[in-house]
Structure 1
Amino acid sequence: MIARVGWQLAELLTRAEHEVSQRLAAALDAEGLTLNQWRVLSHLADGAGHTMSDIADHAMLPPATLTRVIDRLVEVNLIYRRGDIGDRRRVLVYLSTRGRNLHRTLASTLEREEEALTAALGDQEKELLAELLERLTARGR
């Protein structure tokens, strides 16, 4: 029975992730962005410079894929790379002014999409779902 419950959980999580990703991807597509590009922009929105390995961890992307995503975002002037002043061997990635403006616009759009996705849930259920998912993912760390 446990194996069946585990499979059901994996199935439900996969379906939920697919539905959320599809909705967000549709909203991002209007701006010519992919979900992977959004994850990078979102991570850089804190204003700090981030290393490629830090971004890869946050965006859940393998290095080769991340390099292509970063190259594309640099190409369209949404982010830029700079050498780390404290360690010349490292390169840090930052959000450009254009990227910051786009992030601000898209963040509110994606927030509305998230609200639409969770409209059937009450505030307490949304909080509970977020808490349970956080606890579930924290176990793997």
Structure 2
Amino acid sequence: MTSALDTHLGYWLRYVSNHVSQAFARRLEARGVTVAEWVLLRQLLDNDAAPSRLAGQIGLTRGAVTRLADRLIAKQLVARRASETDKRAQVLSLTAAGRDLVPALAAAADANDAAFFGHLPPAERAALETALKDLVRHHGLRAVPID
């Protein structure tokens, strides 16, 4: 007998993940950014960084980071400058507008989490988070989810 779709844990993970991700994407779209752009903006909040370093941190190619940066530069949320230590290298940083926007985007992420997971008792939410983090560690997952 062939198992039904809904007998697979992966089915339920994807089902919830799709809805959580799509709702978050809509929240960010209302602010004029994509999920991938949000990830890059959030990384830059803590430190200015070279595209190659960002690529390693979020699991994208350097080219993908450059394309994201180009879009954010066009939106005047990110600036690119030559590295002070290596004039051949570039460094990305948030503009004032980008620095002002990131907390609002983080609040949208918090609201999205609350909308989907806020009804769970704290112990269940903690257990779910622990189980998911354990799966990430066990399988050596590295790339930050951006889509």
TM-score, scaled relative to structure 1: 0.83
Deviation of 1:58 after TM superposition, in Å, equals 3.6
Deviation of 1:81 after TM superposition, in Å, equals 1.4
Deviation of 1:130 after TM superposition, in Å, equals 1.6
The CA distance in 1 between the partners of 2:52 and 2:137, in whole Å, is 20
State the identity as a percent.
30
Equivalent residue letter for 1:42: R
Deviation of 1:100 after TM superposition, in Å, equals 0.9
When structure 1 is superposed on structure 2, of 89-98 and 54-63 the one drifting more is 54-63
- Equivalent residue number for residue 110 of structure 1: 109
Alignment of 1:30-109 (within 5 A): 30-46=30-46, 48-109=47-108
Moved over 6 A (4+): none
Q: Does 1:122 align with 2:114?
A: no
Deviation of 1:112 after TM superposition, in Å, equals 1.1
Deviation of 1:103 after TM superposition, in Å, equals 0.6
When structure 1 is superposed on structure 2, of 96-105 and 82-91 the one drifting more is 82-91
- Confirm or deny: 8 A CA contact 1:77 1:96 kept in the other structure: yes
When structure 1 is superposed on structure 2, of 76-85 and 32-41 the one drifting more is 76-85
SS class of match (2:8): helix
Q: Deviations over 1:87-130 (max 9, x none)?
A: 33322211111101111112112211111110231112222222
- Confirm or deny: 8 A CA contact 2:24 2:108 kept in the other structure: no
Q: Larger relative CO (CA 8 A, sep 6+): 1 or 2?
A: 2
SS class of match (1:80): strand
The CA distance in 2 between the partners of 1:126 and 1:53, in whole Å, is 35
Equivalent residue letter for 1:35: V
The CA distance in 2 between the partners of 1:94 and 1:8, in whole Å, is 43
- In structure 2, runs of 5+ residues without a counterpart are 142-147
- Confirm or deny: 8 A CA contact 1:77 1:99 kept in the other structure: yes
- Equivalent residue number for residue 19 of structure 1: 19
Structure 1 residues 137, 36: closer, same or farther in 2, change over 3 A? same
Tell me how many residue pairs correspond in the alignment.
135
The CA distance in 1 between the partners of 2:59 and 2:24, in whole Å, is 17
The CA distance in 2 between the partners of 1:98 and 1:31, in whole Å, is 12
